Structure 1
Amino acid sequence: MLDHPQIRAWRPALSGVEEVFHARITDHVYPLHTHDSWTLLIVDDGMVRYDLDRHEHGALEQMVTLLPPHVPHNGRAVTPAGFRKRVVYLDSSQLEDSLIGLAVDSPVLEDLVLRQRIHQLHQSLEHAGEELEAESRLALVSERLRDHLQGRVEDRTAVRNAPIAHQLRDLLDANFVEGISLQDASEALHAHPAHLVRVFSREFGMGPHQYLTSRRVDLARKLLLAGMSPRLVAASAGFYDQSHFNRHFKRTLGTTPGRYARSGPPDLVAPFC
C-alpha cells in the first residue's frame, strides 16, 4: 500500500522566493521534470537519489543540493523509510541563469555554514512578521551559493565597515515601528543587502532583524507599563499581530506581555486602557 506524501507548500511574502515546500516522501517517485526557478534543497532525514543531466547524484543530510532551472531531474527515496526534505524555490533575482552550467556540474555542496543558514531561512519563513529576518537570511544564502558556483567561497567574518553599519542602525531607528525592508535599506545606503547584514552583525553583535525586534520590544515594555493593553501595544510597537508580539516578548523577557504589565506592586500597576 502506497504511503501518501506529507506536504506543506506556500508562497511567502518575500521577494526572490517563489515557493516553500516541506515534505516527507516514502513511496512516491518523482518523474523527470523541470522548474523555471532554482531548487534549493536540504534533507533532514534519509537520502534522495536523483538524475540531473543524465548523471546520478545523491542528496544526504548535512549537505545542500542546488538544482538549476530548465534542467530535467527526477527523485526517489533510497530506503523504504523514505526521506524528509525542505525546499525553497529561488527566482533569477537571487541566482542568474548564467550560473546554470556551473550548477549542473556541481549540484551538491558540502558546506555546514550554508546548510545552517538555509535552516534558519526556513525557520524565519514559518512565521508572518519576520520579513526582515527572512530577507537578511536569504541575502546571505544567495551570496554564499553564488560564491560556491563561482569557486570563491571565503571567510567573510572579518569584514568591517563601521560607518555604514551605523548608518543602517540610524535607518532602523527611524523606521522600527513601521519597518523597513532590507532592499529599501540597500538602495538608501548604496550597499549590497548581504554586505549590510554582515557589517551590521560584525559591528553590533546582532543581525538587523534582531536589532529591529529589540527596539520594538523595548517600546512595548514602556507602553505596557504606561497602562496600554497588550492588544493595542502589539500594533503600536510594530508587531505583525498578537501572536508575533507574544512570541518575541516572551523570547526576550521570559514572560508574557500581560504578566509583565501586572508584575509591579498592585498599587502602582496602571489600569489597562
Structure 2
Amino acid sequence: MAHEIPAVELAPGVNLPTIGFGTWQITGRSAYESARAALDAGYRHIDTATMYGNEEEIGRALRDSGLDRSEVFITTKLPPSQAGKERQTLDASLKALGVDFVDLWLIHWPPARGRSLPTWVSFLEQRDAGRIRSAGVSNYDTALVDELIKETGETPVVNQVPWSPAQHDPRFLDDMRDRRVVVEGYSALKNTPLDDPRLVKIAEAHGVTVPQVVLRWQLHHDVVIIPKSTHPERMAQNLAVLEFSLTADEIATVNDV
C-alpha cells in the first residue's frame, strides 16, 4: 500500500507521506514490534522524537524490515531542553536510529525565551550539511513561526500541532497555508469524544469506525496524520481511511464536534 499513500512535497525531492505512524509512548520491545508491523502494513513515514526514548528500536525495525533507507521517511525532534546542543542531540539521534540523515527534524516545543531563533539557525546549518533533509517546528503558533521567517528568511516546512475537531482552527490553517507550512496533527483521537452521536452516524453511513472518520476529516483539511497503535488491525484501519471520502456536509459536521 505504500505507493498509494499521497505525499506532500516539502522541498525538491523531499516528499512527506500524508499518513505516518506515530510512536509517542511506545517504548522498548513494543516500539520495535509496532514499527516493524507498521512498515509491513505499508507505512513509509515514521514519527519519533528524542523525548520518546525509542529511536534505537525504530532504527532496528527499519533495518530488519529489509526496506531501503530511501523508502522510509523518518521524523525526529529536538527537546527544548537541548537548545544550544543541537548538533550533539542530532548526533545521538542519528546514532540511535542507525542512519546518516533524517528526513525531517523538528523543534519539539518552543525553547525558553530567546532560544528559538538560535536553535532554528542551528537546524538550518544541519540541513545545509546534509544531516537532515528538511527542518520544521512543533507546537508553534503563527507569531513564533513568523519570527523565524522574519529573522532568517527560511520557513519551517512543517508545524506539528495537536489537532482534533475540538481544536479545529480554520484561521490557523489559513495562516500556515499562506506561509506554505504543512500542518501535521497529533492526538486527534485522544482529544475527540468518539461516542458523539454525530460521529457515530457518519461512521455508520460509510461502514467505517469513528476513529477512521476523524482521521479522514483531518486529511480533507490537508492536515498530515500520524496515528499510533500497537495493534496491526488498527494500523491497517488507519491506512484504509484513503478508501472513502466525507461529503462537504459531513466535514462541516465534524468541524463542530
Taking structure 2 as the reference length, what is the TM-score of the superposition?
0.26
Question: Which of 1 and 2 has higher RCO (CA within 8 Å, sep 6+)?
Answer: 2
Name whichever structure is richer in strand by fraction: 1
The structure number with the bigger radius of gyration is 1
Higher helix proportion (structure 1 or 2): 2
